[in-house]
Amino acid sequence: MTARIDLDNLPALSLGCTVFAGGGGGDPRIGELMAMVAIRALGPVDVRPIDAFDDDDLVMPCGMIGAPTVMVEKIPNGAEGRVIRESYERHFGRPVAAVMPFEMGGINGVLPVAWAAYADLPLLDGDFMGRAFPELQMLTPHLYGMPGSPAVITDERLQTIVFTTRDNVWLEKLVRNSVAALGGSACGGLYPMTVGQARRPAIPGTVTRAIRMGEAILRSTDDPLAAIAEVAPLLRLGQGKVIDIERRTAGGFVRGSALVEGLGEDKGRLFRLEFQNENLVVIEDGEPLATVPDIITLLDIHTGHGIVTEMIRYGQRVEIVAFPAPEVWTSAEGLLAVGPRAFGYDFDFVPVADRVSGGARA
Protein backbone atom coordinates (compact mmCIF):
# COMPACT_ATOMS: atom_id res chain seq x y z
CA MET A 1 0.00 0.00 0.00
CA THR A 2 1.35 3.40 -1.00
CA ALA A 3 0.80 6.44 1.22
CA ARG A 4 1.57 10.04 0.35
CA ILE A 5 3.09 12.97 2.17
CA ASP A 6 1.35 16.17 1.18
CA LEU A 7 0.74 19.60 2.66
CA ASP A 8 -2.09 18.23 4.80
CA ASN A 9 -0.15 15.52 6.66
CA LEU A 10 3.37 16.99 6.54
CA PRO A 11 2.83 18.80 9.88
CA ALA A 12 1.73 15.50 11.43
CA LEU A 13 4.92 13.80 10.21
CA SER A 14 7.01 16.61 11.69
CA LEU A 15 5.20 16.38 15.02
CA GLY A 16 5.43 12.59 15.15
CA CYS A 17 9.16 12.84 14.57
CA THR A 18 9.55 14.92 17.74
CA VAL A 19 7.83 12.21 19.79
CA PHE A 20 9.83 9.23 18.52
CA ALA A 21 13.18 11.07 18.33
CA GLY A 22 13.97 10.67 22.01
CA GLY A 23 14.91 14.35 22.10
CA GLY A 24 17.29 14.13 19.14
CA GLY A 25 17.45 14.42 15.39
CA GLY A 26 17.30 18.22 15.42
CA ASP A 27 14.37 20.63 15.39
CA PRO A 28 12.14 19.46 12.51
CA ARG A 29 10.68 22.88 11.70
CA ILE A 30 13.40 23.76 9.17
CA GLY A 31 13.01 20.41 7.44
CA GLU A 32 9.24 20.82 7.46
CA LEU A 33 9.49 24.23 5.77
CA MET A 34 11.88 22.89 3.15
CA ALA A 35 9.60 19.92 2.46
CA MET A 36 6.62 22.27 2.26
CA VAL A 37 8.32 24.36 -0.43
CA ALA A 38 9.27 21.23 -2.38
CA ILE A 39 5.77 19.72 -2.20
CA ARG A 40 4.15 22.98 -3.22
CA ALA A 41 6.39 23.17 -6.27
CA LEU A 42 6.50 19.51 -7.27
CA GLY A 43 3.60 17.70 -5.63
CA PRO A 44 3.23 15.03 -2.91
CA VAL A 45 5.83 12.38 -2.16
CA ASP A 46 4.87 8.70 -2.34
CA VAL A 47 5.72 6.61 0.74
CA ARG A 48 6.18 2.96 -0.16
CA PRO A 49 6.81 -0.12 2.00
CA ILE A 50 10.02 -1.99 1.36
CA ASP A 51 8.09 -4.83 -0.28
CA ALA A 52 7.00 -2.45 -3.06
CA PHE A 53 10.59 -2.31 -4.40
CA ASP A 54 12.72 -4.79 -6.31
CA ASP A 55 15.64 -6.39 -4.51
CA ASP A 56 18.22 -4.70 -6.74
CA ASP A 57 16.79 -1.18 -6.33
CA LEU A 58 19.33 1.23 -4.81
CA VAL A 59 18.32 2.95 -1.56
CA MET A 60 19.79 6.26 -0.32
CA PRO A 61 19.57 6.59 3.48
CA CYS A 62 20.22 10.25 4.32
CA GLY A 63 19.82 13.12 6.73
CA MET A 64 21.73 15.72 8.73
CA ILE A 65 24.76 15.01 10.92
CA GLY A 66 26.12 17.15 13.73
CA ALA A 67 25.04 19.25 16.68
CA PRO A 68 21.30 20.06 16.72
CA THR A 69 21.97 23.45 18.30
CA VAL A 70 23.98 24.41 15.19
CA MET A 71 21.28 23.16 12.82
CA VAL A 72 18.84 25.75 14.15
CA GLU A 73 20.82 28.52 12.44
CA LYS A 74 23.10 26.76 9.95
CA ILE A 75 20.39 25.49 7.62
CA PRO A 76 20.79 23.43 4.44
CA ASN A 77 20.54 25.21 1.09
CA GLY A 78 18.30 22.50 -0.40
CA ALA A 79 20.67 21.03 -3.00
CA GLU A 80 22.51 18.66 -0.65
CA GLY A 81 20.20 15.76 -1.44
CA ARG A 82 20.94 16.09 -5.14
CA VAL A 83 24.70 16.15 -4.48
CA ILE A 84 24.50 13.02 -2.31
CA ARG A 85 22.31 11.21 -4.85
CA GLU A 86 24.53 12.07 -7.82
CA SER A 87 27.60 10.94 -5.89
CA TYR A 88 26.03 7.55 -5.19
CA GLU A 89 24.83 7.16 -8.75
CA ARG A 90 28.36 7.76 -10.03
CA HIS A 91 29.77 5.29 -7.53
CA PHE A 92 27.28 2.48 -8.15
CA GLY A 93 26.70 3.16 -11.85
CA ARG A 94 22.91 3.13 -11.60
CA PRO A 95 20.11 5.43 -10.42
CA VAL A 96 18.89 5.72 -6.86
CA ALA A 97 15.39 4.20 -6.66
CA ALA A 98 14.29 5.48 -3.24
CA VAL A 99 15.20 7.96 -0.56
CA MET A 100 15.11 6.81 3.07
CA PRO A 101 15.60 8.64 6.38
CA PHE A 102 18.49 6.99 8.17
CA GLU A 103 16.83 7.89 11.47
CA MET A 104 13.19 8.62 12.27
CA GLY A 105 13.56 11.62 14.50
CA GLY A 106 13.52 15.41 14.39
CA ILE A 107 14.62 17.06 11.17
CA ASN A 108 15.99 13.77 9.86
CA GLY A 109 12.52 12.31 9.53
CA VAL A 110 11.34 15.29 7.47
CA LEU A 111 14.25 16.66 5.42
CA PRO A 112 14.47 13.51 3.22
CA VAL A 113 10.91 14.27 2.12
CA ALA A 114 12.17 17.47 0.46
CA TRP A 115 15.05 15.62 -1.20
CA ALA A 116 12.67 12.91 -2.45
CA ALA A 117 10.35 15.56 -3.92
CA TYR A 118 13.18 17.34 -5.73
CA ALA A 119 14.45 14.01 -7.12
CA ASP A 120 10.95 12.78 -8.06
CA LEU A 121 11.60 9.64 -6.01
CA PRO A 122 9.50 7.75 -3.45
CA LEU A 123 10.33 7.67 0.24
CA LEU A 124 10.89 4.19 1.67
CA ASP A 125 8.67 3.64 4.72
CA GLY A 126 11.33 2.71 7.24
CA ASP A 127 14.66 3.72 8.73
CA PHE A 128 17.73 2.25 10.41
CA MET A 129 17.11 3.37 14.01
CA GLY A 130 13.38 3.52 14.80
CA ARG A 131 14.27 6.69 16.76
CA ALA A 132 17.38 8.92 16.80
CA PHE A 133 20.89 8.12 18.05
CA PRO A 134 23.96 10.41 18.07
CA GLU A 135 26.68 8.30 16.40
CA LEU A 136 27.09 6.76 12.95
CA GLN A 137 27.77 3.21 14.11
CA MET A 138 24.44 3.33 15.97
CA LEU A 139 22.40 2.20 12.97
CA THR A 140 20.97 -1.28 12.58
CA PRO A 141 23.13 -2.29 9.55
CA HIS A 142 26.17 -2.01 11.84
CA LEU A 143 24.76 -4.85 13.93
CA TYR A 144 24.83 -7.08 10.86
CA GLY A 145 28.38 -6.18 9.84
CA MET A 146 27.27 -3.94 6.97
CA PRO A 147 29.49 -0.95 6.09
CA GLY A 148 28.38 2.66 6.36
CA SER A 149 30.82 3.46 3.55
CA PRO A 150 30.84 5.00 1.10
CA ALA A 151 29.49 7.91 3.13
CA VAL A 152 28.91 11.22 1.36
CA ILE A 153 29.04 14.42 3.44
CA THR A 154 28.21 17.85 2.03
CA ASP A 155 27.59 21.24 3.62
CA GLU A 156 25.45 24.20 2.59
CA ARG A 157 28.30 25.39 0.32
CA LEU A 158 28.13 21.96 -1.37
CA GLN A 159 31.68 21.13 -0.26
CA THR A 160 31.60 17.36 -0.49
CA ILE A 161 33.69 14.57 1.01
CA VAL A 162 33.32 10.85 0.32
CA PHE A 163 34.52 8.52 3.07
CA THR A 164 35.57 4.91 2.65
CA THR A 165 36.72 3.61 6.03
CA ARG A 166 37.93 0.31 7.51
CA ASP A 167 34.90 0.07 9.84
CA ASN A 168 31.93 2.07 11.09
CA VAL A 169 33.60 3.27 14.29
CA TRP A 170 36.31 4.91 12.18
CA LEU A 171 33.57 6.31 9.95
CA GLU A 172 32.03 8.01 12.98
CA LYS A 173 35.39 9.48 14.07
CA LEU A 174 36.37 10.83 10.65
CA VAL A 175 32.94 12.15 9.69
CA ARG A 176 32.44 13.79 13.09
CA ASN A 177 35.77 15.63 12.85
CA SER A 178 34.98 16.76 9.30
CA VAL A 179 31.51 17.96 10.26
CA ALA A 180 33.05 19.96 13.11
CA ALA A 181 35.43 21.57 10.60
CA LEU A 182 32.47 22.38 8.34
CA GLY A 183 30.86 24.38 11.11
CA GLY A 184 29.20 21.80 13.33
CA SER A 185 26.56 20.34 11.01
CA ALA A 186 26.31 18.98 7.48
CA CYS A 187 24.14 16.67 5.37
CA GLY A 188 25.05 13.11 4.61
CA GLY A 189 24.27 9.80 2.99
CA LEU A 190 25.18 6.65 4.94
CA TYR A 191 24.88 2.89 4.53
CA PRO A 192 23.84 2.90 0.85
CA MET A 193 22.54 -0.51 -0.18
CA THR A 194 20.04 -2.37 -2.32
CA VAL A 195 16.53 -3.10 -1.15
CA GLY A 196 17.48 -6.76 -0.89
CA GLN A 197 20.28 -5.87 1.51
CA ALA A 198 18.05 -3.45 3.44
CA ARG A 199 15.33 -5.98 4.18
CA ARG A 200 17.15 -7.35 7.22
CA PRO A 201 18.28 -4.15 9.01
CA ALA A 202 15.40 -1.83 8.05
CA ILE A 203 12.83 -1.06 10.75
CA PRO A 204 9.65 -0.97 8.66
CA GLY A 205 6.71 1.40 8.85
CA THR A 206 8.36 4.15 10.86
CA VAL A 207 7.42 6.99 8.48
CA THR A 208 3.71 6.17 8.45
CA ARG A 209 3.81 5.51 12.21
CA ALA A 210 5.18 9.03 12.79
CA ILE A 211 2.38 10.43 10.64
CA ARG A 212 -0.23 8.50 12.65
CA MET A 213 1.30 9.78 15.88
CA GLY A 214 1.23 13.40 14.74
CA GLU A 215 -2.34 13.09 13.50
CA ALA A 216 -3.47 11.59 16.82
CA ILE A 217 -1.91 14.45 18.80
CA LEU A 218 -3.37 17.11 16.49
CA ARG A 219 -6.84 15.57 16.86
CA SER A 220 -6.58 15.48 20.64
CA THR A 221 -8.31 18.30 22.50
CA ASP A 222 -7.93 17.45 26.17
CA ASP A 223 -5.64 14.45 26.77
CA PRO A 224 -2.67 14.28 24.39
CA LEU A 225 -1.06 11.45 26.42
CA ALA A 226 -4.09 9.25 25.80
CA ALA A 227 -3.90 10.09 22.09
CA ILE A 228 -0.20 9.19 22.01
CA ALA A 229 -0.86 5.90 23.83
CA GLU A 230 -3.35 4.93 21.12
CA VAL A 231 -0.49 4.84 18.59
CA ALA A 232 2.42 3.52 20.66
CA PRO A 233 2.71 2.07 24.18
CA LEU A 234 4.23 4.56 26.59
CA LEU A 235 5.13 4.75 30.23
CA ARG A 236 4.72 7.95 32.18
CA LEU A 237 7.81 8.70 34.30
CA GLY A 238 6.74 12.00 35.80
CA GLN A 239 5.35 15.48 35.33
CA GLY A 240 7.11 18.67 36.28
CA LYS A 241 8.75 21.99 35.56
CA VAL A 242 12.21 22.46 34.06
CA ILE A 243 14.16 24.30 36.77
CA ASP A 244 17.68 24.08 35.31
CA ILE A 245 19.23 23.36 31.93
CA GLU A 246 22.92 22.95 31.15
CA ARG A 247 23.90 22.50 27.53
CA ARG A 248 27.20 22.70 25.64
CA THR A 249 28.14 22.09 22.02
CA ALA A 250 31.47 20.38 21.37
CA GLY A 251 32.88 17.80 19.00
CA GLY A 252 29.78 17.68 16.84
CA PHE A 253 27.43 16.88 19.74
CA VAL A 254 25.18 18.72 22.15
CA ARG A 255 25.76 17.37 25.65
CA GLY A 256 24.10 18.39 28.86
CA SER A 257 21.36 17.81 31.38
CA ALA A 258 18.06 19.19 32.59
CA LEU A 259 16.51 19.16 36.06
CA VAL A 260 12.74 18.71 36.27
CA GLU A 261 10.96 19.44 39.56
CA GLY A 262 7.85 17.34 40.07
CA LEU A 263 4.40 18.93 39.95
CA GLY A 264 0.92 17.69 40.84
CA GLU A 265 0.98 14.06 41.91
CA ASP A 266 4.76 14.10 41.36
CA LYS A 267 5.37 17.05 43.72
CA GLY A 268 8.49 16.46 45.80
CA ARG A 269 10.23 14.38 43.13
CA LEU A 270 13.30 15.60 41.22
CA PHE A 271 14.31 14.17 37.86
CA ARG A 272 17.64 14.59 36.10
CA LEU A 273 17.63 14.09 32.34
CA GLU A 274 21.03 13.60 30.65
CA PHE A 275 21.54 13.82 26.89
CA GLN A 276 24.06 13.58 24.05
CA ASN A 277 22.00 15.02 21.19
CA GLU A 278 19.41 12.43 22.30
CA ASN A 279 18.06 11.77 25.78
CA LEU A 280 20.16 9.02 27.36
CA VAL A 281 18.92 8.52 30.93
CA VAL A 282 16.41 9.82 33.45
CA ILE A 283 17.72 9.59 37.02
CA GLU A 284 15.82 9.99 40.30
CA ASP A 285 17.50 9.71 43.70
CA GLY A 286 20.68 8.49 42.02
CA GLU A 287 18.94 5.59 40.27
CA PRO A 288 17.97 5.36 36.60
CA LEU A 289 14.24 5.36 35.80
CA ALA A 290 14.79 4.85 32.08
CA THR A 291 17.82 4.53 29.81
CA VAL A 292 18.79 4.09 26.20
CA PRO A 293 17.90 2.29 24.03
CA ASP A 294 14.33 2.92 25.29
CA ILE A 295 13.00 6.16 23.81
CA ILE A 296 12.90 8.92 26.45
CA THR A 297 10.90 11.97 25.41
CA LEU A 298 9.91 15.26 27.01
CA LEU A 299 6.38 16.25 26.01
CA ASP A 300 4.83 19.67 26.38
CA ILE A 301 2.27 19.15 29.15
CA HIS A 302 -0.42 21.14 27.33
CA THR A 303 -0.01 20.06 23.70
CA GLY A 304 1.75 16.69 23.79
CA HIS A 305 4.36 17.96 21.33
CA GLY A 306 7.81 16.45 21.74
CA ILE A 307 10.62 18.76 22.88
CA VAL A 308 14.01 18.20 21.25
CA THR A 309 17.04 18.73 23.49
CA GLU A 310 18.10 22.05 21.98
CA MET A 311 14.63 23.47 22.71
CA ILE A 312 14.47 22.60 26.41
CA ARG A 313 13.94 25.86 28.32
CA TYR A 314 13.67 26.93 31.95
CA GLY A 315 10.08 26.98 33.14
CA GLN A 316 8.63 24.52 30.64
CA ARG A 317 5.93 22.25 32.03
CA VAL A 318 6.64 18.78 30.76
CA GLU A 319 5.63 15.14 30.88
CA ILE A 320 8.59 12.74 30.91
CA VAL A 321 7.60 9.58 29.08
CA ALA A 322 9.34 6.55 27.63
CA PHE A 323 8.56 4.16 24.79
CA PRO A 324 9.99 0.65 24.53
CA ALA A 325 12.99 0.44 22.21
CA PRO A 326 12.71 -1.30 18.85
CA GLU A 327 13.44 -4.95 19.58
CA VAL A 328 16.66 -5.05 17.58
CA TRP A 329 18.32 -2.65 20.04
CA THR A 330 17.66 -4.85 23.07
CA SER A 331 19.64 -7.76 21.63
CA ALA A 332 23.15 -8.38 22.99
CA GLU A 333 24.65 -6.76 19.87
CA GLY A 334 22.24 -3.84 20.07
CA LEU A 335 23.00 -3.11 23.71
CA LEU A 336 26.72 -3.27 23.00
CA ALA A 337 26.23 -0.48 20.46
CA VAL A 338 23.61 1.72 22.15
CA GLY A 339 23.09 0.53 25.72
CA PRO A 340 23.97 2.70 28.73
CA ARG A 341 27.54 1.40 28.88
CA ALA A 342 28.13 2.51 25.26
CA PHE A 343 27.65 6.07 26.56
CA GLY A 344 29.88 5.67 29.61
CA TYR A 345 27.31 4.78 32.27
CA ASP A 346 28.21 2.18 34.86
CA PHE A 347 24.93 0.28 34.82
CA ASP A 348 23.15 -2.13 32.53
CA PHE A 349 19.98 -1.67 30.54
CA VAL A 350 16.74 -2.67 32.19
CA PRO A 351 13.56 -2.19 30.12
CA VAL A 352 11.62 0.82 31.33
CA ALA A 353 8.51 -1.34 31.79
CA ASP A 354 10.45 -3.35 34.39
CA ARG A 355 11.75 -0.26 36.19
CA VAL A 356 8.49 1.69 36.41
CA SER A 357 5.30 0.20 37.80
CA GLY A 358 1.89 1.79 37.64
CA GLY A 359 2.88 4.34 35.01
CA ALA A 360 1.86 2.56 31.84
CA ARG A 361 -0.64 4.08 29.47
CA ALA A 362 -1.97 1.60 26.92
Averaged pLDDT, 20-38: 92
**pLDDT per residue as tens digits for the range 95-148:** 999 999 999 988 999 999 999 999 999 999 999 999 999 999 999 999 999 999
Instruction: Give the total number of structural domains in the chain.
Output: 2
Q: Give the pLDDT score at 27.
A: 87
57 and 195 in a single domain? The answer is yes
Q: Give the pLDDT score at 115.
A: 98
Query: 198: pLDDT confidence band, cut at 50, 70 and 90?
Result: very high
Q: Could you tell me the CA-to-CA distances from 135 to 174, 175, 235, 271 in Å, in that order?
A: 12, 10, 26, 25
Q: Could you tell me the CA-to-CA distances from 206 to 85, 140, 144, 159 in Å, in that order?
A: 22, 14, 20, 31
The answer to whether position 349 is within a domain reads: no
8 and 99 in a single domain? The answer is yes
Query: CB neighbours of 33 closer than 8 A, spacing ≥ 6?
Result: none
Name the percent of the chain lying above pLDDT 90. 89
C-alpha dihedral (305, 310, 315, 320), degrees to nearest 10: 50
Q: Give the pLDDT score at 1.
A: 53
pLDDT-wise least confident of 131-145, 203-217, 251-265, 334-348:
251-265
Mean confidence (pLDDT) of the chain: 94
Q: Between helices 111-119 and 80-92, what is the axis angle to 10°?
A: 60
34 and 160 in a single domain? The answer is yes
The answer to whether position 217 is within a domain reads: no
Residue 183 belongs to a domain with what CATH number?
3.40.1610.10
289 and 148 in a single domain? The answer is no
Domain that holds residue 116: 3-206
pLDDT at position 358 over 70:
no
44 and 181 in a single domain? The answer is yes
197 and 268 in a single domain? The answer is no
230 and 198 in a single domain? The answer is no
The domain boundary residue, chosen from 176, 206, 236: 206
CA separation for the pair 124, 45 (Å, rounded): 10
The answer to whether position 230 is within a domain reads: yes
pLDDT at position 47 over 80:
yes
**pLDDT per residue as tens digits for the range 335-347:** 999 999 999 999 9
The domain boundary residue, chosen from 157, 173, 206: 206
CB atoms within 10 A of CB 243: 13
C-alpha dihedral (45, 36, 297, 318), degrees to nearest 10: -150
β strands within 171-252, DSSP E: 185-189, 193-194, 203-204, 234-250
Q: What is the pTM of this model?
A: 0.95
Query: Which residue would you say has higher pLDDT here, 310 or 50?
Result: 50
Q: Are 100 and 62 in contact (CB under 8 A)?
A: yes
Q: What are phi and psi of 133, to 5 degrees?
A: -135, 160
Q: Give the pLDDT score at 361.
A: 43
Burial 39-58, CB ≥16 within 10 A → b, else e: beeeebbbbbbbebbeeebb
Q: Between helices 29-42 and 10-20, what is the axis angle to 10°?
A: 150
The answer to whether position 9 is within a domain reads: yes
Residue 268 belongs to a domain with what CATH number?
2.40.390.10
Averaged pLDDT, 36-50: 98
The answer to whether position 241 is within a domain reads: yes
